[in-house]
Amino acid sequence: MVEAWYMDESSEDQRKPHRLQPNRPVSTAELQRLGVSSWKLDADNHETDPELERIRRERNYSWMDIITIRKDTLPNYEEKIKMFYEEHLHLDDEIRYVLDGSGYFDVRDKNEQWIRIAMEKGDLITLPAGIYHRFTLDEKNYVKAMRLFVGEPVWTPYNRPADHFEAREKYVLSLTQLG
């Protein structure tokens, strides 16, 4: 299962783990209550994996591409790294599947605390529309990920504050129902 923990408040390098002392782990059940779903899949066989096929079919993840985030291969690397780490939301789910390398998705819990989700090879995650989040590489500085989408992708990030969007209002309401 995907590993997650509450972050410390330190402003040092975003690529470090930023665990509290002592560590405060966050279970997948707690993530689920924030609307965050995750699966562990066989990344080496992503081209033929029936489980990935099933998830894509059931959730209508019809569109996909593969992005490699590494200094020497991603155009406008520094700019994108900065953009990914600005706290933002989207009007659609953000769905990512790590095929190689690793990185962190940070999401806000119900009390506005940051939870850090360690994404490693084989981890597939969906962040619900309207959740405030951000992404960073870790100290290995490399991730290769499948980006999935329901229909034609719209990647627009809305940096916080973005509370007036219907997707945000719906998300906040869903929190009271997810428990």
Binding residues with Ni ion: total (CB under 5 A): 1
**What tokens appear for 75 in the block?**
């155009």
Footprint of ligand KMT on residues 7-66 (CB under 6 A)?
none
Q: Which of the choices Ni ion, ligand KMT, none does residue 143 contact, using the CB cut-off of 5 to 8 A by kind?
A: ligand KMT
Footprint of Ni ion on residues 140-169 (CB under 5 A)?
none
Q: Are 90 and 167 in contact (CB under 8 A)?
A: yes
Q: How far is the CB of 143 from ligand KMT (least distance, A)?
A: 5
Tokens 């953000």 belong to 94
Out of 135, 148, 168, 171, the only residue in the binding site for ligand KMT (CB under 6 A) is 135
The Cα 1–Cα 118 span in angstroms is 10
Q: Are 141 and 69 in contact (CB under 8 A)?
A: no
The Cα 36–Cα 22 span in angstroms is 24
Interface with ligand KMT (CB under 6 A): 67, 84, 94, 96, 103, 135, 143, 145, 147
Query: What residues line the site for Ni ion (CB under 5 A)?
Result: 94
